[in-house]
Structure 1
Amino acid sequence: MAMKILASILIAYLLGSIPTGLWIGKYFYHKNLRDYGSGNTGTTNTFRILGPKAGILTLVIDILKGTLATLIPIWLGITDISPLFFGVFAVLGHTFPVFAQFKGGKAVATSAGVMLGFAPLYLIFLLIVFGVTLFLTSMISMSSVIAALVAVLTMLIFPSFHFLLPDYDLLFSLLVLVLAGIIIVRHRDNLTRIKNKTENLVPFGLNLTKQKPK
């Protein structure tokens, strides 16, 4: 069993380490995403620099990395450790990828994939929060941070009402805190730009905070 656990951790990290946007840009568009836009290799910058086809493909693969990392230990028969534990290693791989000099994305899509594998209805709720915030603010960064904060609050509240999360789970709570923390920390620069009213916007929504990107 110990070997299965170690193998699952390694697989999860290596899955997370696949720098989807970076590789798609290099091999299909002959562009290094680090030289364009925000310099980030995640979904948002891929959409912005390479277009919707590359952006959607990056989003799907980055989500699946988290989902597979969560499901593989279940398939291997590991039942005494929460699958979320292994999902965190996929998020760490996405954030600090061994295949891309440990400089990765901001963990949103892969964190969503982890939730998809463990609590799909709860993920749908968080996606609704993300979508509403995106429409109101026109900012993917703000939407990601708000969804992370809502995840922290609701994992404390929802089990009391047996809504979406039926019971309190200490490990689940700790892992949600870890994932939310990674997302928020990885958006430090975005939060500074939001404060300065210069954050990048998507081409729709209300832009309620009146950002004016340079």
Structure 2
Amino acid sequence: MKLLLVILAYLLGSIPSSVWIGKWFFNTDVREYGSGNAGATNTMRVLGVKPGIAVLLIDALKGFAAVKLVFLFPRTAGDVETMVLLGVCAVIGHIIPVFANFKGGKGIATLLGMIIAVHAGAALMAMATFMLFFISFRIVSLSSILAALSFPIWLIFRYHENSSVLVLFSFALVFLVLVTHQKNIERLLNGEESRIKLRKNNNER
């Protein structure tokens, strides 16, 4: 039964919203422009703010819905370990999506939806951290990294989380974000990371 949930979570995560929206409405594969990433940030950079927000919401919903699959079977409902597992499967689906030739995004939005479903309080605090740094610097990668780093801090020191599974996941989340943002970190250190302009930039098409 758990295997079925894992497969469903992966398939949910594999829905390539940025690729499909780009191709269906703009005749553009966002992976061929900008950073080459199939995520909300690159969609915003290539197609504009509104498509980027649509992708962000859909990708977050994938992570949220994957975690909530746990309630399809009463035996697993409320099982934190299963909820984390399903969320991680959705994130993996986003990063290596079966519906888009296994070439996806970094999974940040899907990860956001997942942590909202697992622990809304700490997730909202991490979102506030993201917004604080994004408003200040307009750099999504930096804001995402700092928000991820803040998540275990909020979880442990603000909410005093007792679940060892959830605490371990919060540190694994930090590791995942750092690994998937290696190139961004290099550009940040070199002062080359681009800032988001809240309007469409046709020069990047």
- The answer, yes or no, to whether TM exceeds 0.5 is yes
Deviation per residue, 1:40-84 (Å, 9 max, x gap): 010000011111221111011000000000011123221344412
- C-alpha displacement at 1:177, in angstroms? 2.2
Assess if the C-alpha contact under 8 Å between 2:67 and 2:84 holds in 1: yes
Separation (CA, whole Å) in 1 of partners of 2:161 and 2:34: 43
Which residue number corresponds to residue 187 of structure 2? 193
- C-alpha displacement at 1:136, in angstroms? 2.2
Assess if the C-alpha contact under 8 Å between 2:126 and 2:154 holds in 1: no
Separation (CA, whole Å) in 2 of partners of 1:99 and 1:182: 22
Using the size of structure 2 for normalisation, the TM-score is 0.89
Separation (CA, whole Å) in 2 of partners of 1:101 and 1:76: 31
**Superposed CA RMSD:** 1.5
Matches within 5 A, 1:32-111: 32-77=29-74, 78-79=76-77, 80=79, 81-111=81-111
Q: Which amino acid aligns with 2:179?
A: V
Q: Tell me the secondary structure at the aligned position of residue 173 of structure 2.
A: helix
Which residue number corresponds to residue 210 of structure 1? none
Matches within 5 A, 1:9-28: 9-28=6-25
- C-alpha displacement at 1:9, in angstroms? 0.4
Q: Which amino acid aligns with 1:152?
A: P
Q: Tell me the secondary structure at the aligned position of residue 194 of structure 2.
A: coil
Deviation per residue, 1:168-204 (Å, 9 max, x gap): 2111122222222222211111111111111110237
Q: Which has the higher contact order (CA 8 A, sep 6+)?
A: 2
Q: Tell me the secondary structure at the aligned position of residue 18 of structure 1.
A: coil
Q: Which runs of 5+ in 1 are unaligned?
A: 205-214
Q: Which runs of 5+ in 2 are unaligned?
A: 199-205
Separation (CA, whole Å) in 1 of partners of 2:161 and 2:24: 46
Q: Tell me the secondary structure at the aligned position of residue 19 of structure 2.
A: helix
Separation (CA, whole Å) in 2 of partners of 1:124 and 1:152: 12
Equivalent position to 1:172, from 166, 172, 179: 166
Using the size of structure 1 for normalisation, the TM-score is 0.86
Q: Which amino acid aligns with 1:110?
A: T
Q: Which amino acid aligns with 1:198?
A: E
Separation (CA, whole Å) in 2 of partners of 1:44 and 1:185: 17
Deviation per residue, 1:12-35 (Å, 9 max, x gap): 001001111011111111001111
